[in-house]
Chains A and B, each alone.
Chain A
């Protein structure tokens, strides 16, 4: 029912846009054939202002083009996009995700940009190493220019840290291992407080009546676990699959993954982390943290500013813990824009995509907004400074890039089906309704998708 509503809404939006387009053309007078409205979709409301600013700059430089930005929440975004593709009301350009674009490319719903990149001599070495090639499919076609990168870090409530008698320096040297959790688990235990004021590492701690959990839980993470468990598993020497991008065998049954998940879910049993029943429904991790229910959370860099915008909570960043490999680890993910194959105006769409990928947008505008890290190397320092002005030291995010502890996010075919299988399996494990041995069957089903 809702799906219909959404497609209706999409159709209505498109109709409005079309009429706006029709009205705009004669008004402009000159070069009617070239003028176009570019319909642009994104999901992150926090990023809308910075791209609106880019759009304004773009329109100033290209008076024939008008950019119309529409935002849908992440939960609705992909379904709305699919229905829009079906009903022929898809945007000209949309923010895309590494886990989704291979399906779109395979179905021919997005356009490769190789010719345009070659013709306009776009310098791909401007971007952080490896990011640009994430948008090249198996058959060698390029579909996007990177616009940002993200990593994972710990965000903690500095008041609760002080209450626990811990210092910010303590948070920077934490180590983790799957056997006893190391100093990382000790810290989490100490940050946990029950209703009677007893801490998680004190005798008499009542794990059934926890007032503040040491660490929050966003969910089971399905087969991705970007901000949930990827930083532990990969610092334990685990990799998602046999190769990346375009793997044919996944490693969800690997002992290193199993022991990581066993350790991580044991935090639930010990009362240091909320159960899936508590954390998996109702308000999300960010809101629960804002209400003082979690002393720390693991988060992606794109959400940083939202945490600092919370009233009544003082947050500080800390790096993810060093694992058995002797190194930290973080997924290295990035977004790019895809051009819809159904666009009426590929030239206008490309001009906008090129602008979004250029220093003029990323370095001059986006970096100063201090919401995300631009993909362009030279823009990083400027973004760090912008965050610094807000009182946010983002080193815990960017140190992964400096120390080379980033791991490219998995890019694979069949990601939606992998997610369906892994959601079921991981949710069951996190709910303590299944053992990690169920990962064997799940991994087999995942690999079965690749024939």
Chain B
């Protein structure tokens, strides 16, 4: 591997930042007011639009509430009802299925894309193209695929028939609906995720690759033994973000299947929305949201612990 300046630059800034904390500690707190002023708008937004609604949702989950008349406190009844609600458990299973397919395919594809971009091209054009699907609104992407995959008129099925393959009801068949939705969203997000990972790849010093090459490692081996392990902190961050985002799948379902066929795509967020906004069971919907919140917090915590996201293996090298 030839050395190149693109890799050298991040190394320098990293070295600098590693040396930074002691110096910063020595400084006076003169910047604090300004720092607070900068943080304030975001903090205010967080409290107003996230913290307060979250706390209120916890309270509402203990009530019977149809929005239009005042909430009535009913204790833990909503949570009790939740345990026996087959649609809630179905929603969890369906959502999990979606997350596994979506994240699994997306992660593999995006790492592959990122490594290809890293090793083969510096072209800004290619990076732009890879990002393109992400720039189209989710709902538009969903609807375009919905029509392209239509059984009778969709272009994909016309193509399948032309190839001599049987037509498929991608969104209409229970077994296919979730994989279809998961892959449509993968298509949209893979470029963005790939760019995040690509940024992570640029953090890896080229000297490591050179050393590996001198030791006689081929591309394949370098990927498994050097690239992937050193990518771990970035991957951890990407995974936490994408997994939580994946659990929150909603709009694609809302504009295509609407939870169907039967309950095959009634993912948890859509179920919550349906309960609240079409059936007026806001208290119960809040209980579901609360459970989902705890679940997602747990998933994120586990991921961070398991992947040791705060540490880097570069220090030891």
Contacts and interface: CB of A to CB of B under 8 A. Distances in A.
Query: Are both chains from one complex?
Result: yes
Interface stretch (A182-190, A231-239, A258-266, A427-435): A427-435
A2 B153 contact: no
Interface in A276-301: 276-283, 287-288, 291, 293
B172 A2 contact: no
Interface string A1-12: 111000000000
Contacts of B177: 281
B219 interface: no
Contacts of A433: 174, 262
Interface in A104-120: 107-109
B152 A283 contact: yes
B12 to A, nearest CB: 41
A103 interface: yes
A85 interface: yes
Sort chain B's interface into a size bin.
Answer: 35 or more
B151 A277 contact: yes
A281 B259 CA distance: 11
Contact of A107 (B69, B172, B255, B274): B69
Contacts, number: 102
A281 B280 contact: no
A128 interface: no
A214 B66 CA distance: 44
B315 interface: no
Interface centre among B68, B152, B173, B269 (most CB of A within 10 A): B152
Contacts of A2: 139, 250-251, 254-255
B150 A281 contact: yes
B146 interface: yes
A166 interface: no
Given A277-B172, A282-B153, A1 B260 contact: no
A426 to B, nearest CB: 10
Interface in B134-183: 139, 146-147, 149-154, 169-174, 177
Nearest to A434: B262
Interface in A203-248: none
What DSSP secondary structure best describes chain B's contact surface? loop
B262 A424 contact: yes
Given A281-B150, A281-B260, A282-B146, A420 B279 contact: yes
A47 interface: no
Contacts of B258: 75
Contacts of B66: 107
Given A277-B172, A280-B172, A427 B261 contact: yes
B261 A79 contact: no
A431 B280 CA distance: 28
B278 interface: yes
Contacts of A78: 278
A417 B280 CA distance: 9
A108 B153 contact: no
B88 to A, nearest CB: 13
A431 B177 CA distance: 14
Nearest to A87: B67
Contact of B169 (A82, A86, A277): A277
Given A85-B68, A424-B262, A433-B262, A291 B277 contact: no
Interface in A402-439: 416-417, 420, 424, 427-428, 431, 433
Given A1-B250, A79-B278, A277 B261 contact: yes
B257 interface: yes
A277 B69 contact: no
A83 interface: yes
A277 B139 CA distance: 22
A418 to B, nearest CB: 10
Contact of B280 (A108, A416, A428): A416
A428 B260 CA distance: 10
A274 B153 CA distance: 13
B202 to A, nearest CB: 32
B172 A282 contact: yes
Contacts of B251: 1-2
B151 A82 contact: no
A270 B58 CA distance: 52
B93 to A, nearest CB: 16
A76 to B, nearest CB: 10
A431 B153 contact: no
Interface centre among B172, B250, B262 (most CB of A within 10 A): B262
Contacts of A1: 248, 250-251, 269
Interface in B237-293: 248, 250-251, 254-258, 260-263, 269, 273-274, 277-280
Interface of B: 66-69, 139, 146-147, 149-154, 169-174, 177, 248, 250-251, 254-258, 260-263, 269, 273-274, 277-280
17 contacts: A2-B139, A2-B254, A85-B68, A274-B152, A281-B151, A281-B169, A281-B256, A281-B261, A282-B147, A282-B151, A282-B153, A282-B154, A291-B152, A293-B153, A417-B279, A424-B262, A433-B174
Interface of A: 1-3, 75, 78-79, 82-83, 85-86, 103, 107-109, 274-283, 287-288, 291, 293, 416-417, 420, 424, 427-428, 431, 433
Given A277-B172, A281-B177, A420-B274, 4 more contacts: A280-B261, A281-B257, A288-B153, A420-B279
